[in-house]
Amino acid sequence: MAKIIAIANQKGGVGKTTTVVNIAAGLAELGKKVLCIDLDPQGNLSDYLGYDFTGKRTIVDVLKETAKLSECIMTAKSEPIDYVPADISLATADMFLAQTMCREQILDKAISSDSISENYDYFLIDCLPSLGILVMNALAAADEVIIPVQVQKFALNGIVQFEDIFNLIKEKINHDLKICGILETMTDNTQMAQAVDVALKERYSGLVYKTTISKRIEAANSTAEQKSLISKKNSVIGGQYRQLVSEILEKEGV
């Protein structure tokens, strides 16, 4: 059975998608089988992995229960990573899920009713920046959550709201849900970055990863090239994500 990790933070632009792709590439490099699930109508993850947005089956079909998860799987253009794409039609999820029973648990049901989970070591769910029904679905399906935090002003305000929804889902639906870790992204030498680092460690002590991801232009380039940073020789951020993958596996005791 695959371990399911959601990558979430209701702020946009904090590095969620970049983190999903590079953790996936780092795990794949170690021979793990990884399935990424794009749960953002912007489809950035799908784009990053080389999806051409030509109307194939997407996560929308899974949530509408018109296709099984296993029927929507694609393979990334340039690395051994599988994914379920998303496109803009996912933006109407609030509407098409409105009449559905237990609508926070559609993804969870789709995963557990499909034997496909046995073929993978990890499912990584890329969340959209919101606290709505799709993120609830991700948290209801997940074993663990990684929260990327861009170390800048107001970074903490966001996570406090995220904690509320996390606690709600944990209490009502998914009692074993855990925070896998908090990842500082786009770090630099500013005082702000240091202040956020101190504040995060005060509040979450053991949960903050030792590995941090620097702010570097190569990240933006990698999105455009549709290739992970891990797969690029001499990439500094690729090296940091590789380090992060080791840290995640160490925590698991693997």
| Residue 186 binding target from Mg ion, ligand ADP, none, CB below 5 to 8 Å by type | ligand ADP
Taking the C-alpha atoms of residue 201 and residue 125, their distance in angstroms, rounded to an integer, is 25
Q: How far is CA 193 from the centre of its chain?
A: 23
Give the 3-state secondary structure of 172-230.
HCCCCCEEEEEEEECECCCHHHHHHHHHHHHHHHHHECCCCCECCCHHHHHHHHCCCCC
Which residue is closest to Mg ion by CB?
Answer: 17
Q: Does 90 bind ligand ADP (CB under 6 A)?
A: no
The piece of 38-46, 89-97, 235-243, 246-254 that touches Mg ion (CB under 5 A) is: 38-46
CB of 96 to Mg ion, least distance (A): 21
CB of 106 to ligand ADP, least distance (A): 22
Minimum CB distance to ligand ADP smaller for 15 or for 41: 15
Minimum CB distance to Mg ion smaller for 17 or for 185: 17
| Residue 89 binding target from Mg ion, ligand ADP, none, CB below 5 to 8 Å by type | none
The residue count for the chain? 254
Instruction: Figure out which of the listed residues 10, 19, 44, 137 binds Mg ion, where binding follows CB under 5 A.
Output: 44
Q: Do the Cβ atoms of 183 and 19 come closer than 8 Å?
A: yes
Which H or E element spans position 5?
Answer: strand 3-7
Q: Does 216 bind ligand ADP (CB under 6 A)?
A: yes
**Cβ neighbour number for residue 243 with a 10 Å cutoff:** 16
Which residues lie closer than 8 Å to 31 by C-beta, 6 or more apart?
Answer: none
Task: Please give the residues from 4 up to 43 whose contact with ligand ADP meets the rule CB under 6 A.
Answer: 12-18
Q: How far is CA 32 from the centre of its chain?
A: 17
Task: Please give the residues from 13 up to 32 whose contact with Mg ion meets the rule CB under 5 A.
Answer: 16-17
Q: Do the Cβ atoms of 6 and 16 come closer than 8 Å?
A: no
The piece of 151-159, 167-175, 192-200, 208-216 that touches ligand ADP (CB under 6 A) is: 208-216
Q: Does 188 bind ligand ADP (CB under 6 A)?
A: no
CB of 44 to ligand ADP, least distance (A): 5
Q: Does 185 bind Mg ion (CB under 5 A)?
A: no
CB of 13 to ligand ADP, least distance (A): 4
Helix (H, G, I), strand (E, B) or coil at 34: strand
- The residues of the shown chain that bind Mg ion, judged by CB under 5 A, are 16-17, 44
